[in-house]
Each structure stands twice: as structure tokens, then as C-alpha cells.
Amino acid sequence: MNHSDATTPGKGRILILACGALAHEILALTQTNGWDHLDLTCLPANLHNTPDHIPGAVEQAVEKHRDAYEQIFVAYADCGTGGRLQTLCDRLGVEMIRGPHCYSFFEGNEAFEQRADGEIDVFYLTDFLTRQFDAFVIKPLGLDRHPELRDMYFAHYTRLVYQAQTNDPALDEMAQAAAKRLGLTYERRFTGYGDLATALADLG
């Protein structure tokens, strides 16, 4: 699999247009499975801080790469766009991952939905968010400057669930430290790659 900005990768190739937060996982899946017909290009992971901008960024990227690929697959869930991303993908004739967000499709959308009513008090981390906890949680919330705001932001949470895509003791320790920092009970839940793996496998 290639990170591709090429314009002529050849007939029969598929481009995965992904959230940058999924790059590591997508590369791991494609390399492990030998999916050499897939190329990857990523949009910035910090678009999640402004989900209204995701559909526009996806549309620009699809139009940029459309003529060079037989198929484009959008590796985003709804991700806070309120259905706008699915509407866009339908209009552009491209597929995307099912589900409201990556926490759901990593666990498996069906399993996540079954748990949903009992997990309204849960703050989730993935492998990516565990690695980037300061950049994507602490700093955007201003907790690096005002740690006293923690109890206000997390007043309605009681648990941190680390959805582990891999078995990495170093990440386990980082996730436990994150839970302690937020004052939440820690739970590790191994999910693997969930519906992301299934969606990519279905691309042939």
C-alpha cells in the first residue's frame, strides 16, 4: 500500500480517503493482509475539532483524486457532521464507513449500539487518542493551562474506556495515566480493528 498523491496510479486501484487518526490502523491492516491495490491519503486528524469542515474537505479531496482511481472509499464515520457527510458521499457516489464515530466501528457498530444505553458516562480513547492525548484532549480543552476545569468538563463521566486496537503495554500505561489525570475509573477493552477491517476487506 502506498501513501499516494499521484494522479495516475493505474486502472483498478482504490483510494482510501481517511481521517488522519486512522492512518496507523489502515496501514497495519493493508500491510498485514497484502492489500496492495489500495492507496491511502489522509486529511488532518484535527478536523474532528471542527466537524462542520469535514464534508467540505472530503469533497475537495474526492474531486482532486476522482479521475485517478477506479473507486474512492471514505474512511470516516459520521464524526459529528449530523448526516451531512453521508449525504455528500451519496451525492458523489462514494462509499463510507457505517457508524456514528470511530469508537463505534472499532468496537463493531452492532455491539456498540447494544452497549450505548449503559455507557452514557464513558469517555473513550483509541490507540491514536492515547498516543495523542495531550494534543487532542488536554490542550484543546485548555486543561494544560487551567487544570481546575477538569471537574467541570468531566462532571458527567465516571469511566474512561480504552478501546485497544493493539496489545501494547506502553499504550496501556498511557491510557491508565490518562484516566487518572481525568479522575475517571479505567477500563481496557480490546476491540482490534472492528468494522474498519471488515470495510477494507470488502473493497476486494
Tens digits of residue pLDDT in 11-56: 789 999 999 999 999 999 999 999 999 999 999 999 988 999 999 9
- List the grid coordinates of 47: 478536523
pLDDT tens string 46-74:
998 899 999 999 999 999 999 999 999 99
The mean per-residue pLDDT over the stretch 80-92 comes to 98
| Ramachandran category for residue 124: left, alpha or beta (phi over 0 → left; psi -120 to 50 → alpha) | beta
Asked if residue 110 lies in contact with residue 80, where contact means CB atoms within 8 angstroms, the answer is no
Question: What is the structure's pLDDT at 6?
Answer: 43
CATH 3.40.50 occupies which residues in the chain?
2-97
Helix (H, G, I), strand (E, B) or coil at 146: coil
Closest CA to 5 of 87, 72, 68: 68
Q: What percent of the chain has pLDDT over 70?
A: 94
pLDDT in tens, 115-153: 999 999 999 999 999 999 999 999 999 999 999 999 999
Could you tell me the three cell numbers for 168? Answer: 501494547
DSSP 26-72: HHHHHHHHT-TTEEEEEE-GGGGGSGGGHHHHHHHHHHHHGGG-SEE
CATH class of the 2-97 domain in this structure: alpha beta
Asked if the model's pLDDT at residue 8 lies above 90, the reply is no
Q: pLDDT band for position 10 (50/70/90)?
A: low
Indicate if the alpha-carbon torsion angle 128, 99, 188, 145 is positive or negative: positive
Per-residue pLDDT reduced to its tens digit, 163-174: 999 999 999 999
